[in-house]
Amino acid sequence: MSNLYQVLLYSCLFTSIFSLLLALIACARVGKVISSTEGLDWSSVANITGDIATVKKTIQTLNNRMNGMHSPKLQEQELMLQLLNNQPKQQVNGKLTGG
């Protein structure tokens, strides 16, 4: 029974030290974020938000254009239909007439 208590004691010790290290790392990261955003005011935040929205809209437009490159164009479809409709038609007597 003594070995079981020692295993539990050491596992609790290891878990608590590991948790303390994770908490210290989290505190350091939060401190870094706070120090990096210390000089921001609301107008700067608004400008950054506007810039992000502009970049997002530009990326969406570019993606839409790239997706449109692979789909058939309406003008190409209309041109093909016109070519098919303007092909010479055959009359009953065998003579060809233009469209």
Judge if 52 and 25 occupy the same domain.
no
Judge if 60 and 78 occupy the same domain.
yes
Judge if 49 and 82 occupy the same domain.
yes
Other Cβ atoms closer than 10 A to 68: 10
pLDDT < 70 regions, the chain: 69-74, 88-99
Give the residue numbers spanning the domain of 26. 1-38
Name the β-bridge partners of 89: 97
Q: What is the pLDDT of residues 79-97, one digit of tens each?
A: 778 888 887 665 556 566 6
Q: Residue 14 domain-assigned?
A: yes
| Residue 91 in tokens | 């009359």
Q: Residue 9 domain-assigned?
A: yes
- For the chain, what is the domain count? 2
Q: Residue 99 domain-assigned?
A: no
